[in-house]
Amino acid sequence: MIERRYYGEFGGAYIPEILVSTFDQLVKAFKEVKDDPDFWEEYVKIMSTYSCRPTPITFAENFTRHFGGARIYIKREDLNHTGAHKVNNVMGQGLLTKRMGKTRVIAETGAGQHGVATATMAAKYGFKCTIYMGEVDIARQSPNVFWMKRLGAEVIPVKDGARILKDAINAAFRDWVTNMDDTHYVLGTVCGPHPFPEIVSYFQSIIGKEARGQILEQEGKLPARVYACVGGGSNAVGIFSGFFNDPVELVGVEAGGKGLDTGHHASRLASKDGTIGVAQGYKTYFLQNSDGQMQETHSVAAGLDYVGVSPILASLREEGKVRFESATDQEVMDALSLALRKEGLVPALESAHAFAQAFKEAPDMGKDDVIMINQSGRGDKDIFTIADAYADPEWQKFIKEKAEEYCA
Ligand SMILES: *Cc1c(COP(=O)(O)O)cnc(C)c1O
């Protein structure tokens, strides 16, 4: 038993006895790579040759003129391979897997984005790959399931519980227990038992490191505020960590769903509905009832629809270092429309939460203030949801014709 790291009162590693030696091996392997400067260099090299890093920052002059307040910059994580920041984490954990001499990776996925990123990494590094996904999610996310399989991964439908993300996580842990020797579990966000929050935030810190240097170079000063959406919390912790020692206000934006007072949201820290508990191996704020049963969550953005939240963010909130807000589905759709029309940007629905909050605040800020929004991913994947929300008649006709073609 090496260590069970906490962030304030949050985090820890509440794991079955049988996994302790595997976790200790992982803690040790990660400590070694962290202390090895060549490892970070190897990681940066992979990311710059395989995934378009450093991703640029874009000055959004049309937003800036439109709102008439702060100067608005966008950090472009949407330009990564597989379309979001998730690749930063999976490529890093892939390198770690190689260092540990393991040959197989497993992962959980909800919306399917992390599954696709992991399957991509496994193809590139030559690992066997198994993805656990709830049956309900498989039915909702066909395109991602299609890509995972084409990339060579085995997708296992999880039939337990509500058959969604949390059940897929449990199934992945069960697999790991029986295959510890050759298998690494590539957890998808800054949650779960230690050392996962630390490992994932280490790899995602590449966003903040770049962003800080880029804004200093372009504006000659730090941003007044940085905005990021918060599902598990990995893109937020990634960009925020570049500014932890600076006088920069960090704003995390959760899914407000149909409104914080409706019960249909996924806001663990910005609403009053989140309470402290231990589940899935770690301690944090969860959306749960008084018996500790997990509640149903809702968001227009599948990637923000999760009952728990990073212990790192829970602790930073407690210390007053990150402010938490929420954006409703409607505010997010409006922000997305504006991003498309004004800047030609196509943010993922997740990322559009950060845009929505920045848009609420930018008009009241000074013209000399600079703010930065993390565009965690691109919205191409959301075409079905977005087209539904706009009730686009041409799209509906296209889908209907395709369906008829298949049924003929
Ligand atoms: C998965 C995902 C998120 C949510 O995950 P975090 O760990 O909170 O970053 C946000 N944006 C995009 C584009 C995603 O794919």
Same domain, 60 and 164: no
Q: Give domain status of residue 79, yes or no.
A: yes
Nearest CA to ligand 1 atom 2: 303
The answer to whether the CB of 308 is under 6 A from ligand 1 is no
Q: Give domain status of residue 407, yes or no.
A: no
How many angstroms separate the alpha carbon of residue 348 from the centre of ligand 1?
9
Same domain, 16 and 157: yes
Same domain, 356 and 233: yes
Q: Give domain status of residue 1, yes or no.
A: no
How many angstroms separate the alpha carbon of residue 303 from the centre of ligand 1?
5
pLDDT digits (tens, 9 = 90+) for 326-375: 999 999 999 999 999 999 999 999 999 999 999 999 999 999 999 999 99
The answer to whether the CB of 86 is under 6 A from ligand 1 is yes
Enzyme catalytic residues: 86, 108, 376
pTM of the predicted protein model: 0.97
pLDDT digits (tens, 9 = 90+) for 275-299: 999 999 999 999 998 888 888 899 9
Among 163, 197, 231, the domain boundary falls at 197
pLDDT band at 2 (very low <50, low <70, confident <90, very high): low
Q: Give domain status of residue 293, yes or no.
A: yes
Among 197, 213, 243, the domain boundary falls at 197
Q: Give domain status of residue 406, yes or no.
A: no
pLDDT digits (tens, 9 = 90+) for 376-386: 999 999 999 99
Same domain, 193 and 280: no
| Residue 107 predicted with pLDDT over 60 | yes
Q: Give domain status of residue 255, yes or no.
A: yes
Q: Give domain status of residue 66, yes or no.
A: yes
Nearest CA to ligand 1 atom 14: 303
Q: Give domain status of residue 11, yes or no.
A: yes
Same domain, 256 and 314: yes
Nearest CA to ligand 1 atom 3: 303
CATH number of the domain to which 118 belongs? 3.40.50.1100
What HEC string does the chain produce?
A: CCCCCEECCEECCCCCHHHHHHHHHHHHHHHHHHCCHHHHHHHHHHHHHHCCCCCCEEECHHHHHHHCCCEEEEEEHHHCHHHECHHHHHHHHHHHHHHCCCCEEEEEECCCHHHHHHHHHHHHHCCEEEEEEEHHHHHHCHHHHHHHHHCCCEEEEECCCCCCHHHHHHHHHHHHHHCCCCEEECCCCCCCCCCHHHHHHHHHHHHHHHHHHHHHHHHCCCCCEEEEECCCCHHHHHHHHHHCCCCCEEEEEEEEECCCCCCCCECCCCCCCCEEEEECCEEEEECECCCCCECCCCCCCHHHCCCCCCHHHHHHHHCCCEEEEEEEHHHHHHHHHHHHHHHCCCECHHHHHHHHHHHHHHHHCCCCCEEEEEECEEHHHHHHHHHHHHCCHHHHHHHHHHHHHHHC
Q: For a substitution probing ligand 1, which of 113, 297, 307 has the most ligand atoms within 8 Å of its CB?
A: 113
Same domain, 382 and 246: yes
| Residue 81 predicted with pLDDT over 60 | yes
Same domain, 183 and 309: no
Q: Which structural domain range is residue 297 located in?
A: 54-83+205-389
Same domain, 238 and 375: yes
Task: Please give the tally of structural domains in the chain.
Answer: 2
| Residue 1 predicted with pLDDT over 60 | no
Same domain, 315 and 358: yes
pLDDT digits (tens, 9 = 90+) for 200-251: 999 999 999 999 999 999 999 999 999 999 999 999 999 999 999 999 999 9
